[in-house]
Amino acid sequence: MTQLYFVSAARIIDHLLGRLDVERAAFVGNSMGGYVVAELAALNPHRARRVALTGAGRGDDCRPAHREHLL
């Protein structure tokens, strides 16, 4: 998987939430879904009321600019 997948998936979810008039939500992501949720929270922190990640690895693949938002 490339970083582009995670960014694209996060943007699709953000777009869907906008279409559904969901301003904020809680997100849970496991494994690859954890990377998507992390990307979504980093790109659009106003959307994420709560974030739970499980089995998403160490974050070595996270872009450094986004990693600081997750710590």
Task: Spell out the domain ranges in the chain.
Answer: 3-70
- Residue 62 and residue 56: Cα distance in Å, rounded? 11
**pLDDT tens digits for range 7-18:** 999 999 999 999
Q: 2 φ, ψ to 5°? A: -105, 165
**pLDDT tens digits for range 36-48:** 999 999 999 999 9
Taking the whole predicted model, whether its pTM rises above 0.75 is answered as no
